[in-house]
Amino acid sequence: MKTNAIVAGVGMTTFGKHLELGLKAIGGEAVTAALADAGIVGADLQAAYVGNAAAGLVTGQESIRGQVVLRGIGLGKLPVINVENACASASTAVNQAAAMVTAGLYDCVLALGVEKLYHEDKSKSFGAFSGAVDVEQLQEFMAGLQKAASAAGADAASKGSGKSRSMFMDIYAAAARRHMSRYGTTVEQFAGVSAKNSRHGHLNPRAQFRDELSIDDVMAAPMIAEPLTRPMCSPIGDGAAAVVLVSEDRARRMGIDKPVRIRSTVLHSGWDHGPDEEDAARLCAREAYEEAGIGPDDLSLIECHDASAPAELMAYEALGLCAKGEGGRLIDEGATALGGRLPVNTSGGLLRKGHPVGATGIAQIVELTEQIQGRAGGRQVEGATVGLAHNGGGTIGGDAAAQCVTILSN
């Protein structure tokens, strides 16, 4: 979808372990920051799209999550649309908010992503991910993962899934082993993704983890599911991110001097297809480029869904940065690090910034907006003008259940 929505303001909490805070406090902080950044008050909003994936299971709050969070900071009356789309909940909220602004139905809309995943009962936290697949096929699906892991001699990956870790780490581990077998990708290249993102996260004061890691550090960390060590897996987290979108006319009246435009936002579901055929990520990227009138070479930076280190490397290929199977080469060349030709995950990515799933997609938009406006501090990409956000959620078969790609520019 080609849009004319303008980012008027952004806000974001620090991502991390916030057992003492509830959804209302976390979400309210991000909304308050976004309103202040836009220079407006809550009464100026005409609607709100609120992304959340797991509050029902983790906190018990169902049905009216967005209304509860917004009423907590005195925002009632306005229409609130609750959006649940696994890890793509927040990017889907932005997609829908931008569509309404572009259609001319609203000219000032809030999109919020908020999540609490930490819980004293860890089974609740990990259980939030087990529902992001087809649960009627869950036992068969898990058995297939364990069988493949055993056949590959992956002892850690053959047991404990969904209990001591998110089952999605087993999905990513299986994909990583296939990539290594087919293309010769190395564990060191996956570790290079984690090390790179740790350097970026070190520069981000809102990141969950800020310590710098070397490739050797990543390789020596505890094994989670072969070949993924702990730093190759995104952590669970609590946090929120918000964005205020306005029409072009409203932006002019507000006097926004550094407007960031959402050029295109594309949302698709996965489908049944062959392993070498176009998948949801490639389809979303292709359509987003076409609608924005640009290509991969025009990008200044990318925030991609690195829920695992192999996921980032494979996203390079899906987004057209390199041919299929060549993602590892970009890591070896340093192309996607700060100072490289196309920095990826300057925020630290999900691996280091953290992954409160219902907030992740808007956190990406926050990072890209601040980069394009030249206010990203020590991690600033010089001359940034165009950014792409790649955010996926859930799995059905061999594809993402929901996939969203958004392109922003000055």
* Catalytic pick among 87, 233, 284, 404: 87
Residue 333, H or E segment: helix 327-333
- Indicate if 87 belongs to the active site: yes
Distance CA(370)–CA(380), nearest Å, equals 9
**Distance (Å) of CA 395 to CA 88, 129, 254:** 11, 10, 41
Strands 108-115 and 239-246: antiparallel
- Indicate if 108 belongs to the active site: no
Whether residue 395 contacts residue 131, with contact meaning beta carbons closer than 8 Å, is answered with no
Nearest residue to 305 (alpha-carbon basis) of 351, 267, 260:
351
Whether residue 310 contacts residue 218, with contact meaning beta carbons closer than 8 Å, is answered with no
Distance CA(288)–CA(282), nearest Å, equals 10
Phi, psi of 156 (to 5 degrees): -65, -35
> In sequence order, what are the beta bridge partners of 83?
51
Q: Token pair of 264, please?
A: 């295109």
What's the full length of the chain, in residues? 410
With b for 16 or more beta-carbon neighbours within 10 A and e for fewer, the 46-67 pattern comes to bbbbbbbbbbebbbebeeebbb
Distance CA(32)–CA(24), nearest Å, equals 12
* Catalytic pick among 179, 200, 305, 355: 355
Distance CA(65)–CA(80), nearest Å, equals 9
Burial class (CB in 10 A: 0-12, 13-18, 19+), 384: buried
Burial class (CB in 10 A: 0-12, 13-18, 19+), 323: exposed
Which residues carry out catalysis?
87, 355
